[in-house]
Chain A
Amino acid sequence: MDKRFVSIWFRYFATDWFSLRQPELKKRPLVLRMPSHGRMIVTAINAEAERNGLKRGMVLADARALVPALEVLDDEPDKISRVLTKLGEWCIRFTPFVAIDSTDGLFFDATGCAHLWGSEEKYLSDIIQKIMVRGYSVRAAMADTPGAAWAIARYEKKGGVISPGKHIDALLPLPPQALRLEQETVERLHKLGLHQIKQFIRLPRTAMRKRFGPPFLQQLDKAIGQEMEMLEPIQPVEPYQERLPCLEPIVTSVGIEMALKQLLEKLCLRLQQEQKGLRTAVLKGYRVDGKLECISIATSRPSHHVPHLFKLFEIKISSIEPALGIELFVLEATKVEDHLSQQEKMWEAAGGLEDLRLSELVDRLANKIGADRIHRYLPAEHHWPERSYQSTDSLQKKPDADWRTDVIRPVQLLASPLRIEVTAPIPDYPPLLFRHNGKVHSIVKADGPERIEQEWWLQQGQHRDYYRVEDEEGHRYWLFRLGHYHEETYTWFLHGYFA
């Protein structure tokens, strides 16, 4: 398909934005200023100021001399560029590919978009009208190359749609600055009497390269389509994306569910055909008031199973605030992995950790309570009890080592050892009795000590001598003494309960 591009030019973007916040400025000449080399320079003007003969780049004092009743505000280039980016994001409703064009324009890659509006003329006029409603004066053009669209939008009084293949003809009567050339090159062209593109477009290329340099030829080639122009989209277009524009804004959760189901079916069909499954997905709702509502899900295993994915989204639908309504839904699979269908059959009722139903359950739980709250543990080769197991986020990962069976460990381990008071014969006999929670436990049976040394490469500190003890009631505890007897600092701790 031949490419089609739209260039949008906001003629007075910065001043329009200021007048939106202070409507009384609209009727008066307004300029924005910025210090440069010790002078105040006019950086932006509005329509009224332009009518009075003011230009961008003038010294502010000159402008004031021309128009005494001039309104002057400080320019805020950072803020303005943020506003432009935001407006660009809003424009994703017209095409998935929107790029920022310097400080006062946008490029759309409108290939294959216009037919949704009926025709290219209707598409373009809808864009212009929707943006005008937002309070910006705008000129737009549509052509085969971004360069040509840019030139038509800015230098053809009406802008408009240039039908496919006609863009070179449309460029011919325009001045050389329509090619986005450097100021110096433009001045030289005018000096040579080349006031229109048609005067030099047919000149020999070698002569033009010699006179105006390679960048000039490059810009010319971009405009006529000899050279591809690389545009950088505001939001990278996900390869797995489905869009659903709505005729009427959607406000109910039932409507959102229907939209979601349609999008999921389309996306999953495509994933299935390509033997892929999604790991993360985002549902975006573009609201009428320009805000964006997002919900996202993640799965533990690539999936293109519509009911499962729908269930994951369903929990979160309530967090969407449609306000006045959502007019466009976009479903993106942000992370996609290979997923063979025969595998799925195998997992379906495999039982155990490989079972598909289990991973779907884990997805549902993780979406509601957070994936960081679900733990699966594998053995870790450490003697220190707190480090003898490690967490894994995979359901299928097999343990590298065996769980230890040569040592007996308590079923309940306290998060941090509790200090206890102990009566114990020296040097390393088990205690005779200990006091815990105000109750004295006299020890009837004991096993130990089991000395566990600190792993000095991980943590400094004293070793622990563990004892398994049983009191006269039959309760079994895991106690340890920190350090040696002969040291002054040894202390006893309760660390766990045996069954």
Chain B
Amino acid sequence: MIPLKKIDIFNRLQSEILKLQGFKSASQMALGAGLGVIEKAFPNATFPLGAIHEFISQESEDVAATRGFLAGLLSSLMRNDGTAIWISSQRTIFPPALKNFGLSPDRFLFLDLSKERDVLWAMEEALKCAALTTVIGEMREISFTASRRLQLAVEQSKVTGFILRNNAARLGTTACVSRWKVSSLPSEAVDGLPGIGFPQWRVELQRVRNGQPGVWNLQWRKNCLVHISGYDQASSIAYPAKQAG
């Protein structure tokens, strides 16, 4: 009997810890992140809001894919009139393109700073503002302490933060709740028509706190993220290239 009780205590403590870390139970979530199967990788099968997520990309092409996936993610997060701040020191995001992902570019504020140190400061400041839905910060490097500060800021305000790390020299450990890597996949032709079809990405959830990392293939189709079965965790990087129509 005693071990059973202990398990109860463990479970209760575990759920309390999760709550403190920004994970909510499914019932508490007003809106999902529209991630479908991927959400199962997270504790309570819910995409954690009020936490910091980290995206890693190396080349310009991956950077674009990451932006695309993130924009898809944001479109469900910002559904109810959300506002976002996009902080960067070298901005390449093209605001009108966000409309292709169902976002309203005029609900974004773009901060263009000259130094990465300012990006961190501005991001922390913005994350403390509960009126925002998300804050996106582009930076190369972030130390564990800095990421911890950001995590502490969101714990009060419940804002969701995204760190986009391009060309990071050293990945290191961070206090972020998850680490993602997104790369492009050949698009799938629409009903066999020629030309470029719906964009597809290979989404790697490399690290997730208390969850199950994995790899998925996603497609952006008709304003939502669609999971493509067929290439799953097992699928290797070498996938068959589709022929041009």
A interface residues, Cβ below 8 angstroms from B: 349, 351-353, 355-358, 360-362, 364-365, 368-369, 373-379, 385, 388-389, 395, 398-399, 403-405, 408-415, 443-447, 468-470, 472-476, 496-499
Contact = CB atoms under 8 A, between A and B. Distances in A.
Counting chain B CB atoms within 10 Å of each CB, the highest count among A377, A389, A412 belongs to A412
A433 B220 CA distance: 26
Contacts of B186: 444-445, 470, 472-474
Given A444-B244, A470-B196, A476-B64, A352 B107 contact: yes
Contacts of B242: 444-445
B35 interface: no
* Max chain A C-beta neighbours (<10 A), residue from B99, B108, B125, B201: B99
B125 A361 contact: yes
A240 B149 CA distance: 40
A474 B118 contact: no
A374 B96 contact: no
Contact of B68 (A376, A469, A472, A499): A499
B42 interface: no
A369 B114 CA distance: 9
Contact of A475 (B61, B92, B244): B61
14 contacts: A352-B82, A352-B107, A353-B83, A358-B83, A377-B108, A411-B94, A443-B244, A446-B195, A472-B241, A476-B184, A497-B60, A497-B61, A498-B64, A498-B196
A445 B187 CA distance: 9
Given A403-B96, A403-B104, A474-B186, A352 B199 contact: no
Interface string B6-18: 0000000000000
A112 to B, nearest CB: 43
Given A375-B112, A474-B186, A351 B94 contact: no
B93 interface: yes
Interface residues of B, number: 61
Contacts of A385: 94, 96
Given A373-B111, A373-B113, A470-B186, A412 B60 contact: yes
Tell me the interface secondary structure of chain A in the complex: mixed
B187 A376 contact: no
B31 interface: no
A352 B184 CA distance: 32
A180 to B, nearest CB: 58
Contact of B132 (A358, A408, A413, A474): A358
B26 interface: no
A410 B99 contact: no
A369 B96 contact: no
B177 interface: no
Given A374-B109, A377-B105, A409-B96, A445 B68 contact: no
A216 to B, nearest CB: 66
B63 interface: yes
A414 B96 contact: no
B94 A412 contact: yes
Nearest to A475: B61
Given A353-B83, A374-B109, A358 B64 contact: no
Contacts of B195: 445-447, 468
Interface of B: 60-61, 63-65, 67-69, 71, 80-83, 92-101, 104-113, 118, 121-122, 125-126, 129-132, 183-187, 189, 194-197, 199-201, 220, 241-245
Given A358-B131, A411-B67, A413-B92, A474 B200 contact: yes
A409 B220 CA distance: 14
Contact of A410 (B64, B80, B82, B129): B64
Given A358-B131, A412-B92, A444-B186, 8 more contacts: A356-B131, A410-B97, A411-B64, A412-B64, A473-B184, A474-B186, A476-B184, A498-B199
Given A365-B111, A474-B184, A411 B71 contact: yes
Contacts of B81: 351-352
B60 A474 contact: no
Contacts of B106: 376-379, 398-399, 403
Contacts of A379: 96, 105-106
B187 to A, nearest CB: 6
A389 B184 contact: no
Nearest to A352: B81
A475 B113 contact: no
A413 B105 contact: no
A499 B69 contact: yes
Of all A-B residue pairs in the complex, the 8 with the closest CB atoms, nearest first, are A499-B68, A497-B64, A413-B94, A355-B131, A474-B186, A475-B61, A357-B131, A403-B99
A375 B113 CA distance: 11
A499 B201 contact: yes
A496 B21 CA distance: 38
Nearest to A497: B64
B27 to A, nearest CB: 22
A450 to B, nearest CB: 12
Contacts of A375: 109-112
Contacts of B107: 352-353
Contacts of B131: 349, 351-352, 355-358, 361
A365 B122 contact: yes
A369 B118 contact: yes
A441 B67 CA distance: 22
Given A364-B125, A409-B94, A475 B184 contact: yes
A412 B107 CA distance: 18
Nearest to B63: A412
Contacts of A497: 60-61, 63-64
Nearest to A448: B195
